[in-house]
Amino acid sequence: MSSNTSRSYVITGAASGIGLALVERILDHHPGAHVTAVDVAECPDARAHTVRCDLSDLESIAAAELPVSVDGLANVAGVPGTAPAPTVLAVNTLGMRALTRRVLDRMTAGAAIVNVASVAAHRNTLPHDDIVALLAARTVSDIRAWLTRTGLDGSAAYDTSKRAVVDWTVALSAALLPRGIRAVSVSPGPTETPILTDFEQSMGVDAIARSAATVGRHGTAAESAAVIDFLLSPGASWVNGIDVPVEGGLLAVRAAAIPDPLGEELS
């Protein structure tokens, strides 16, 4: 494993939003780090090395020029529910898995993988067996067949894709344990990024507004990036196989079952 200042990272979705915030955070804190920014667009941070890649296209992923050694992989790229369902699943599940497989060949003990899921994973309505079948897809044609069978469409495809990310990360962490490579997922809540308006369109403006009202505001890309940065670092060496919500306590407020957790003052 490389020293903390010379570590090599691969970050997908690095041209905007959380991915770009992560690129900037890593390079601001560790100027000697090498960051490969994987995206269909150029990463605005000139300190990173951009690799143009369409994560909905397996041939594009296979042709991507990746560094020889990788200490940290952040799968941040994601397509919202406003896109066609086959594209959502191709990028959010199939493309993520294909790129991870390529990067794993370049990882050794001490490396880490962080996959960006979403609190929307909790909205998934499909049973576990359907998630397993989705994660067994090897081609976009397989995904289209799966969609035909399940009848999934619209924003529901996004919700299910993120449930698949969480479940796949747990399985991946167990599979990589003998190699000393960690895998963790992060689930942001509504976040101020360029695709927030897409989520308002697919999930409803009122629903997104209620989330902000519950916790006081939306999150920022920098806040999610800070968590991902830590989870990729050696400082998180004993954090593995879990999902970390980054949503300001949104799920806690929704799930709270004890009306007065502090109770009356004890006498």
Which 3 state secondary structure label does DSSP give 20?
helix
Give the integer Cα–Cα distance in Å for 140 and 91: 10
Give the integer Cα–Cα distance in Å for 108 and 201: 42
pLDDT in tens, 106-153: 999 999 999 999 999 999 999 999 999 999 999 999 999 999 999 998
What is the DSSP secondary structure assignment for residue 190, as one 8-state letter? S
- Strand segments, DSSP code E, in the chain are 8-12, 34-39, 49-52, 72-75, 112-116, 182-188, 191-192, 219-220, 243-246
> Model confidence at 209, in pLDDT bands (50, 70, 90)?
confident
Between residues 257 and 16, which one has the greater pLDDT?
16
pLDDT in tens, 49-66: 999 999 999 999 999 999
Tell me which H or E stretch contains 158.
helix 155-176
Superfamily of domain 8-238 in the CATH hierarchy: NAD(P)-binding Rossmann-like Domain (3.40.50.720)
Which residues, at least 6 apart from 196, have a Cβ–Cβ distance to it below 8 Å?
A: 190, 208, 218
**Whole-prediction pTM:** 0.90
Q: What is the pLDDT of residue 155?
A: 86
| Region 238-248 average pLDDT | 95
Which 3 state secondary structure label does DSSP give 173?
helix
Q: What is the pLDDT of residue 154?
A: 79
186 with 198: CB under 8 angstroms?
no
Give the integer Cα–Cα distance in Å for 142 and 236: 36
| Region 55-81 average pLDDT | 97
> Is 158 a catalytic site residue?
yes
Give the integer Cα–Cα distance in Å for 170 and 158: 19
Give the integer Cα–Cα distance in Å for 95 and 58: 7
Is the predicted pLDDT of residue 240 greater than 80, yes or no?
Answer: yes
196 Ramachandran zone, left/alpha/beta (phi>0; psi -120 to 50)? alpha
What number of residues does the chain have?
A: 267
| Region 71-85 average pLDDT | 95
Give the integer Cα–Cα distance in Å for 10 and 169: 17
26 with 19: CB under 8 angstroms?
no
Q: What is the pLDDT of residue 218?
A: 81
Give the integer Cα–Cα distance in Å for 101 and 74: 13
Which 3 state secondary structure label does DSSP give 249?
coil
Q: Which amino acid is at 161?
A: S
Catalytic residue of the set 43, 117, 155, 158: 158
